[in-house]
Amino acid sequence: MRKILISPSILNADFAKLGEQCLALQQSGADWIHCDVMDGVFVPNISFGLPVVEGVYKSVDIPLDVHLMIRDPLPYVEKFVNAGAKIVTFHAESQCDGAKVCREIHRLGATCGVSVKPNTPLEKVKDLLEMADMILIMSVEPGFGGQSYIALSTEKIALARKLFPDKLIQVDGGINAHTAAQAVKAGADVLVVGSALLNAADKKGFIAALKALG
């Protein structure tokens, strides 16, 4: 059996109760907490920044999985690691020297993730993905929570698993009980789950069911 990690996204959380909600997710079995940082330029939405990540870090004892959906992540990597990020993921499509960003994340002792948008072929960014510890397959267009899973993402996950058999494969977007099963079968190790988990009456049972897919 393959170990499946669950990284709940807080994008659609109740920010008035964010610390409580993150702690409840940890107590329900979450492995990481996924923080989507958006700048309103790289994606058409602004979410949150360093103070929120710092607050989440103080609320839980599990790793923070920080997803930088920003135009140029390099100047911010160290700041987010200092704020508590243990995993830092940036986009292959960012306007930056991706190799330099990977080296900076590793220099700071964090796990490096590289994210790929739905329309970006893996082969186009293969050299950069080779430098990462984790590959994040976006199964929706990044920017907003609550979107539906893009069916072609399953094939992309399978290709990522074939090309990079020893790397973590994370999937983010439209993950529920049904799409999670497809993603895991294709080769995903890490499931970013947002609305489906936050709206679940039995969060502990939901997380346990997702982990059992492995």
State percent of the chain over pLDDT 90: 94
195 is in an annotated binding site: yes
pLDDT in tens, 14-67: 999 999 999 999 999 999 999 999 999 999 999 999 999 999 999 999 999 999
**Position 145 confidence tier, pLDDT thresholds 50, 70, 90:** low
153 is in an annotated binding site: no
Q: Can you give the CATH number for the domain in which 37 is found?
A: 3.20.20.70
What contacts 11, CB < 8 A, 6 or more positions away?
Answer: 36, 47, 145, 194
Which two three-digit tokens encode residue 54?
A: 């710092």
By residue range, what is the domain housing residue 72? Answer: 5-211
34 is in an annotated binding site: yes
Q: What pLDDT shows up at residue 93?
A: 97
Residue that the structure tokens 């267009």 belong to: 141
Looking at the structure of the chain, the number of domains it has is 1
Q: Which amino acid type is present at position 96?
A: C
> What's the average model confidence in pLDDT over 90-96?
97
> What's the average model confidence in pLDDT over 122-150?
91
7 is in an annotated binding site: no
**Position 146 confidence tier, pLDDT thresholds 50, 70, 90:** low
Q: Which amino acids are annotated catalytic?
A: 36, 172
